Amino acid sequence: MWKKNFLFRTHEAIPLHETENELFHETDQATDSAGLTMEKYISVWLQGEGEGDRPTAYTNIYVRTATLDPEKRTGFLQPLQGRPHHIKTLLSPEQKAFLKNWLIQTSPTAWEEADEHFQAIFESD
């Protein structure tokens, strides 16, 4: 199985260099938000067939929102969303465009092998 994660600040079109695992899974789970300065993020998980950095077909996308106080290294991760209509509302048009371009450039063949429902997620409304 091939997988890739992109982590965006909520209103930015270019992802961070860090992945969800690097930024959130080394943090403590917040028990309450008092005194925290939270930043909002969107984490996008892409999955497909293939090995390492070589996807042969794109099959799934999952998205979740998260908040993190980078100074105190604590935050909240929401459950993953896999339904296309939820994903389309969580991602901005610019984020969809970035991801679509990345998918096509990374493996045009994998993009062509992806089903219409997967490809439709990245279309602007």
User: Looking at 18-27, 93-102, 107-116, which range is the least confident one?
Assistant: 18-27
Q: Please, are residues 106 and 98 in contact by the beta-carbon 8 Å criterion? A: no
Q: How many CA atoms lie within 13 A of 125 on its CB side?
A: 10
Please state the rounded mean pLDDT for residues 104-116.
95
Which pLDDT belongs to residue 29? 59
Q: Locate tokens 């901005």: which residue?
A: 92
Residue in 53, 82, 64 with CA at minimum distance from that of residue 6: 64
Give percent above pLDDT 70 in the chain. 90
Both tokens of residue 49?
């067939």
Where in the chain are the domains? Answer: 2-120
pTM: 0.87
Which range among 30-34, 57-61, 81-85 shows the weakest confidence by mean pLDDT?
30-34
